[in-house]
Structure 1
Amino acid sequence: MSKTPRPPEFRTFERMTNTRVIPGRECKVTVCSSENQEATRGQDYALAHLSEVAFWKDSPLHNPADLLRSVTSGIASKPLSFIAMESTANGTGNFFHREWMRACTPGRSDKIPFFVPWHEIDINRSEVDDPQQLWDSLDAYERSLWTDHGCTLEAIKWYHDKRLGFPDHRSMKAEYPTVAAEAFESTSRGVFAPADVERLRAGCGEEGERGEVVLSEQGDVSRPGGVPRFSPSPQGLFVRWKEPRKGGAYIVCVDIGGRSRGSDYSVISVLDRHTDTLGRPEIVGQWRGHIDHDLLAAKASAIGRYFNNAMLVVESNSWESSSEGHGHYIFETLRQSYPYLYCRSGESGQRLPGFHVNVRTKAALIANLVAYVRDGAYTERCPTACDELMQYEALPDGGYSAMKGCHDDVLMTRAISLYIHASTQSSVALRFTREDLNAILRHCIR
């Protein structure tokens, strides 16, 4: 006579409060909180289920990356092992959002992104008594659920009714997203519309060629008389999406960061203005990393020369506010060595090198960038730029800033470059020949 199999149950394991064992299988299950990051150290696991990751605290004492490392370090990379990170999205810029963006970019993560839209959940349905009346009551977004996403009328009716319980559509999309990007729209302070950023991201498919712009075979960037050239290297920090075009006009913009790895990045971006083709401006190159500031200036100069003696625009705040005085020295060196350095008018009419970002100019920079992103008026190549756009928010005092733990270095090079580009794209300037326009620009920058 066969015995009735015992149903599985949890039993205490060696008097441990957070670990249980399933008899018969000897399978141990450990449960821990995101606030107790040491509870899983020293254990070997086959599976980890990390829940509501977007809500894990991110502070000096509770860091999501440290907890992930603590849990997953004991999981071997072999068959039948598994790591799942799931969560309701909780805005952009947090650890979960960064991990999601990494997973969505081929080659940047070992995770596979998986998103469940609201209309794939069976209970999200309502009966439709009058299809025509329902259709007439829908707005353009709700009708796109039928035309673009293949939702049934029953699902659309449920969405339409459910939406009435939310103060705005942004809140509805954050709680019941149709596409993954909507899930991260939980903040109303985002400067750039996620849909606009996602359209911009469509141009970021090409990885580009990695290397450095150098002036000699030895890799120098400040050798007098050296001819700039692109040197391919997997370890290089400069990414070239397109080579310099003959006759092309470029803006090279520099945002100055720190020297240590934990500080903000320094960024040198290259914008092809397409003034000769009447096309839309396009990002064609970018350097991003940490470096001594004198070497950063030399590198920017070399990149500017490589791209047809481009207009070189340097964000001047960091160097002008430096207590060491090295900023003025570097600017003066640039003025003497590079003939197409952007200068602005000072209070007494003197020409000052660099673009100064203050309350007034920053508002103009961001307003102009919002218009370019909204209208799809420039081509982006770097996915990091799109990430920063999604993580940029308006502050209660009327200012702008990257979300906590995020960067805006790449974003600011786009804002400054496109602002300088737009300022010379008036209807009067467009009637000049390309040679006349270049002469005007050179007069402005010297």
Structure 2
Amino acid sequence: MNLSMESVKKIKYLWEDGNEIEWIQAFIKIVDKNAKLVPFILTPEQRKFVEGLCKYIIVLKSRQLGLSVCTVALSIRQCIVYPNSNCLLVSHDQKSCNAIFDKLKQQFNSLPDWLKPKTIANNRMEIKMENGSKITCVCAGNKDIARGDTLHLVHLSEFAFWKDPKRQLNSITQALAPDGKLIIESTANGMNYFHDLYFQAKNNENSYKSFFFNWIDGNTLFKKDYTNSVEIYKAKNNNKLLVNEDLNDEEKELVKLGSSIEQLIWRRLKIASGGLDAFHMEYPSQDIEAFISTGQNIFSNKRIVQIQRSIHKNNYIKKDNITDLPNDLKKYYGRSFFIYKLKKPNVKYYIGCDLSEGVGQDHSVCEVFNEDGEQVAEFYNNKIKPYQMAEIINILGLYYNKALLNIERASGGNSVIERLRYNFKYMRIYKQKMFDENNKVISRLGFDTNSKSKGIIINDFVEAFDEGQIKINSVRVLEEMQVFQINDNGSMGAVSGQHDDSVMATALALYAMKHGVNYRWY
């Protein structure tokens, strides 16, 4: 085929990395919801997804946003632009695997004849091309998955529903080429390995880049569904449309996030047939909402989500707006230390401290509250040793008007308390009254957390939260509250694989605020 100079330049442009969207839209066609073969014009969500491609990606999404279709197109491009590529598309069950392979064949067959590579195999869920490339569709759980292969593009679909996902992910990761890309994508399915990976990515605690796509922004694929829902609603309500005065509190919050009345009507019909919890999981408006469970959670998930909707990302005060921050705190600001409300003179502050050994596992956390019950600051870090934390807590306490500290004695707490009192002469450390072996009342610095005392401080926290007596400004604390549960044996803590350091530090601060005395400083 003879090509003009202009066509040659365009093709050269499309073959360059960074122009994946233009390549897909130029060469690939898909079957739309009206069963028509049309050029694949990416939605805003699909564009954002493709533009954000990097080595490791994890995507939490609402249902039916077309990301799997998009990944199929990316795998086809990979195999044509880079001969000898190996792409793997993994589904959570056979039905989904069949559907993905059908989409793969449809897109591949839609390519222009001059572009489409000749195939040497096009069956058994695999397309092999004469240029050495291949695309394979398999089910999760296949023992031979990725064995002996070098993979250049991998898509793991509905990862939250896989059995033994950790082991399988490790096997696939080992087979990934140095310049390969791994995409994990799923709707939510409770507190599991996918949940852990996603929030670790969101908090920059692993190698993945996180994406979240809600149902409100992904409206371009559902316009016909919205129209049909409106007609059903009007037929049942004397031809009247839903108005703002009819909205409940959650719907009003969704309007603030960009939801239209038509979308809310569609949502109501979905909830009527499947329930609110199922809707939150399959069509979340915010990422934390997707993982809400109604099991043995101690804190009200509904209230947590309501508060989280009102908190903006990076809601802490910018460093330039804090004029009196000590240098030893300034170097941690924006990474481990965050201030949500400026310090005021003559105000009492309370700091709860849950400390670790600083070996990269549990975090050492300090939560700061003012006398009105508002969280004003927090510090967390899992690499700082206890002796270093003692110095940081001393500076933090002095900065907050010689705040009352309530420090858990477990783990690194004992050594921190000793340094604070005897090295730094810090005078306001909460003293817990106890009985010695002679049944005499004694006072010990810090707080001893056992099953009884833990229940007391957590229940105080729950009451204050439910009654609106405190204000939480940290997304981190709210996320930990969501996974804090009571077990069948009565023990309390985070679900397996999660942290509760911030919850415990907050409970300690609130207990000091409720029961602490204003120890004299001398």
The TM-score range, normalised by the shorter chain, is 0.5 to 0.7
Residue by residue over 1:284-323, the C-alpha shift from the partner in whole angstroms, topping out at 9 and shown as x without a partner, is 2314223333333343223222322111111123369xxx
TM-score of the aligned structures, taking structure 2 as reference length: 0.59
Aligned residue identity for 1:269: E
Kindly provide the amino acid, as one letter, of the partner of residue 200 in structure 1: I
1:158 aligns with 2:269: yes
Whether the 8 Å CA contact 2:359–2:383 is kept in 1: the answer is yes
* Contact 1:345/1:351 (<8 A) preserved: yes
What one-letter code is carried by the residue in structure 2 that aligns with 1:89? A
Instruction: Look up the match of 1:435.
Output: none
* Count, aligned residues: 381
Amino acid at match of 2:260: G
Cα deviations by residue, 1:325-376 (Å, 9 ceiling, x for unpaired): xx3x654443332111110111221111111222233223223323444455
Q: Does the 8 A contact of 1:173 with 1:185 survive in 2? A: yes
Give the aligned CA root-mean-square deviation in angstroms. Answer: 4.5
Amino acid aligned to 2:314 = G
Distance, in Å, in 2 between the alignment partners of 1:373 and 1:187 is 18
Mean Cα deviation higher: 282-291 or 17-26 = 17-26
Partner of 1:55: 161
Partner residue in 2 for 1:206: 315
Amino acid at match of 1:254: C
Is contact 1:203-1:380 (8 Å) kept? no
C-alpha spacing 1:205/1:161, structure 2 compared with 1 (3 Å): same
Residue identity matched to 1:150: S
SS at match of 1:414: helix
Gaps (5+ residues) in structure 1? 77-81, 211-226, 321-326, 425-439
Aligned match for 1:173, one of 255, 280, 286 = 280
Q: Choose which of 204, 207, 212 in structure 2 pairs with 1:113.
A: 212
Q: Distance in 2 between matches of 1:387 and 1:415?
A: 15
User: In structure 2, what is the equivalent of residue 250 of structure 1?
Assistant: 349
Contact 1:100/1:113 (8 A) holds in 2: no
For 2:497 and 2:349, the matched residues in 1 are separated by 32
Matched, 1:407 2:499: yes
Verify: 1:233 aligned to 2:331, yes or no. Answer: yes
Corresponding residue for residue 389 of structure 1: 481
Residue 381 of structure 2: aligned partner: 288
**Matched residue type, 1:189:** Q
Contact 1:301/1:312 (<8 A) preserved: no
CA distance in 2, matches of 1:302, 1:89: 42
The sequence identity of aligned pairs, in percent, is: 20
Compared with structure 1, are the counterparts of its residues 379 and 192 closer, same or farther at alpha carbon in structure 2 (3 Å cutoff)? same
Taking a change above 3 Å as real, the CA distance of residues 41 and 268 of structure 1, as seen in their structure-2 partners, is: farther
Residue 244 to residue 395, structure 1, CA distance change in 2 (3 Å)? same
Whether the 8 Å CA contact 1:10–1:23 is kept in 2: the answer is yes
Residue 334 (str. 1) matches residue 411 (str. 2): no
Quote the offset at 1:267 in angstroms: 1.6
Change (3 A) 1:141 1:281: closer
Alignment correspondent of 2:298: 191
Deviations 1:29-53 (A, max 9, x none): 13456555971676252x4321112
Q: Where is the helix percentage greater, Structure 1 or Structure 2?
A: 2
Q: Tell me whether 1:308 sits opposite 2:414 in the alignment.
A: no
Query: SS at the partner of 2:366?
Result: strand
Does the 8 Å CA contact 1:240/1:286 hold for their aligned counterparts?
yes
Q: 1:335 to 1:235 in 2, by over 3 A?
A: closer
CA offset at residue 18 of structure 1? 9.2
- What does the per-residue CA deviation read over 1:211-249, in whole Å, with 9 as the maximum and x for residues that have no partner? xxxxxxxxxxxxxxxx96545336996414256433232
Q: Which amino acid aligns with 2:404?
A: M
Instruction: Give the alignment's TM-score, normalised by structure 1.
Output: 0.68
Residue 453 of structure 2 is aligned with which of 337, 361, 368?
A: 361
Letter in 2 for 1:191: I
